[in-house]
Amino acid sequence: MRSVYIAIAMLIIILSLILPVPEGLTRQGLIMLGILAMAVFLWLTEAIPLAATGLLIMVLQPIFGIADVKEVFSSFGNRAVFFILASFMLAAAIEKYKLHKRFAVRFLKIFGKSPHFFVFGIMFVGAVLSFIMQEHGVAALLLPILLHILIAVKAEPKKSNFGIATMLALTYGTTIGSWGTLLGGARNPLTIAFLDEMGYKMSFFDWMKFSLPIVFISLPIVTFLILYFFPPEINDVIVEEEEMKEIGRNEKLLILVIAITIFLWIFFSDAIGMAVIALLSVISLFFLGLIKWEDVEKRVQWGIILVYGGAITMGKGLENTHAAQWLASKMVLISGGNEYAILACIILLTFILTNFMSNTAAVATMLPISISMASQTNLSPIIAAMATAIAGGAAFVFIIATPGMAIAYSSGYLSQRHMAKTGIVAGIICLTIIFLIANFYWPLLI
């Protein structure tokens, strides 16, 4: 079957080279859509390693003249790649000094021993923390804590429903929480800035009035969905409490570095950048003698770096060849100019794009298109922009959708199929919630 999957993937590329080019699309744009379809197929079937697919995406673009080699590899150096790399290094330090074990004990005391309530606790904590810092930063901090608990209960990677549910809760909780405030993700202030340029003012608390109802409705529903698809096979989350030594000087220094990192992420991420802050934190760990390079090598998942890097170059290719914009224009025609249909198209297309590109790139691509689509009816530009921003955060399906997804996948406890199985249904439900809130609640705020 593996050879059949590979043959189908190659056929997709061949078809993009020989099929007639649709009106409004270039041959390069059609090839990029072919690369997109091929990548999705290979990621879903896992016919070759996910990292190998990421590399394939990169090499096909210069081969077919879509982008030169320099451009492709410069895209690979995206800040999101370095953030993921730095997050693995921070996790290595946390594990070295067993801080995650200390946090795990406190976590269990708060959410009890019920696996169902434990999964909801991950969703809730991840969401609330994502109100004050970017979601992938939250995922990076929680991962080593959850890994310790899964190892303690002997959850088998990719086979334990409890392990799968735990990691899905990590990524979905932080993702949903990122909708709540302007601090949750770069796409949120991007949307505010875009509206401001058009003469529409929206404050920090205005954003919360629009978004928080969607967050609090979605959280319990998606938690139920995770537990429905992957009911935990254990009855109690029991972790033997090891006798912990008193926190020493190195542990205190590490806690201080993490606290400063979180402070900088909350207040200076726009000015400095999440990745730069994370890398500065890692460098400080070396200066303070808290970690050695050998500690880092044990933790860094280089395969994930390649997957995410390849996905970023694909997103750039879709933008540069205008293939993404072509897809959006076709959605306008399908909608027939109906106000509700256009809103549904905006939400659906943004959801599709954000699962194959970075959140920010997807929202940046869709915002002008969404506003243009809204201008053809009585749909408010504010509603169109907010729907784009929040749907752009609904990255539930693929590893490459957000750094948080990649971080959860790096645990080894779930596969791309597990993400897609739950993510597609969760996405449909959340898109429906966004659509209903946008139609019946948001007009009251304008």
pLDDT in tens, 171-225: 999 999 989 887 777 678 778 777 776 777 777 778 889 999 999 999 999 999 9
Residue 54 placed within a domain: no
Closest-CA residue to 311 (of 363, 278, 367, 355): 355
Please tell me the predicted confidence (pLDDT) of residue 356: 75
Dig out the tokens for 246 from the structure: 């008193």
Look at the pTM and tell me if it is higher than 0.85: no
Average pLDDT over residues 414-425: 88
Residue 166 placed within a domain: yes
pLDDT tens by residue, 63-119: 998 888 888 887 666 666 777 678 778 877 877 887 766 766 676 677 767 888 889
Average pLDDT over residues 356-370: 74
Residue 176 placed within a domain: yes
Q: In 3-state terms, what secondary structure has residue 391?
A: helix
Report d(CA 81, CA 272) in Å as an integer.
16
Report d(CA 141, CA 278) in Å as an integer.
11
Q: In 3-state terms, what secondary structure has residue 378?
A: coil
| Residue 372: pLDDT band with limits 50, 70, 90 | confident
| Residue 358: pLDDT band with limits 50, 70, 90 | low
Dig out the tokens for 61 from the structure: 């673009």
In which domain, by residue range, is 207 found?
Answer: 79-190+201-302
Residues whose CB falls within 8 Å of the CB of residue 150, separated by 6 or more in sequence, listed in order:
160, 162, 163, 166, 411, 413
Residue 154 placed within a domain: yes
Higher pLDDT, 331 or 151: 151
- The set of long-range contacts for 111-114, using a CB threshold of 8 Å and a minimum separation of 24, is 112/237, 113/236, 113/237, 113/238, 114/236, 114/237
Report d(CA 416, CA 419) in Å as an integer.
5
- Identify the burial level of 446 via C-beta atoms within 10 angstroms of its C-beta, where 0-12 means exposed, 13-18 middle and 19 or more buried: exposed
State the average pLDDT for the chain. Answer: 83
| Residue 15: pLDDT band with limits 50, 70, 90 | very high
Report d(CA 5, CA 17) in Å as an integer.
19
Residue 281 placed within a domain: yes
pLDDT tens by residue, 274-308: 678 888 989 999 999 888 888 887 767 677 677 76
Please tell me the predicted confidence (pLDDT) of residue 75: 67
Q: How many helices (DSSP H) and strands (DSSP E) are in the chain?
A: 21, 0
| Residue 270: pLDDT band with limits 50, 70, 90 | low
Average pLDDT over residues 403-415: 84
DSSP string, 255-305: HHHHHHHHHHHHHHHHHH-HHHHHHHHHHHHHHTTS--HHHHHHH--HHHH
| Residue 143: pLDDT band with limits 50, 70, 90 | confident
Residue 157 placed within a domain: yes
Report d(CA 214, CA 191) in Å as an integer.
17
Closest-CA residue to 126 (of 47, 31, 211, 222): 222
Given a cut of 80, whether residue 242 has pLDDT beyond it is no
Residue 342 placed within a domain: no
The owner of tokens 């990590």 is 170
Report d(CA 440, CA 214) in Å as an integer.
12
Report d(CA 176, CA 426) in Å as an integer.
11
Percent of the chain with pLDDT over 70: 90
Q: How far lies 288's CA from each of 106, 235, 245, 340, in Å?
A: 27, 43, 21, 57
Dig out the tokens for 134 from the structure: 């970017």
Total count of domains within the chain? 1
Given a cut of 70, whether residue 165 has pLDDT beyond it is yes
Report d(CA 259, CA 266) in Å as an integer.
11
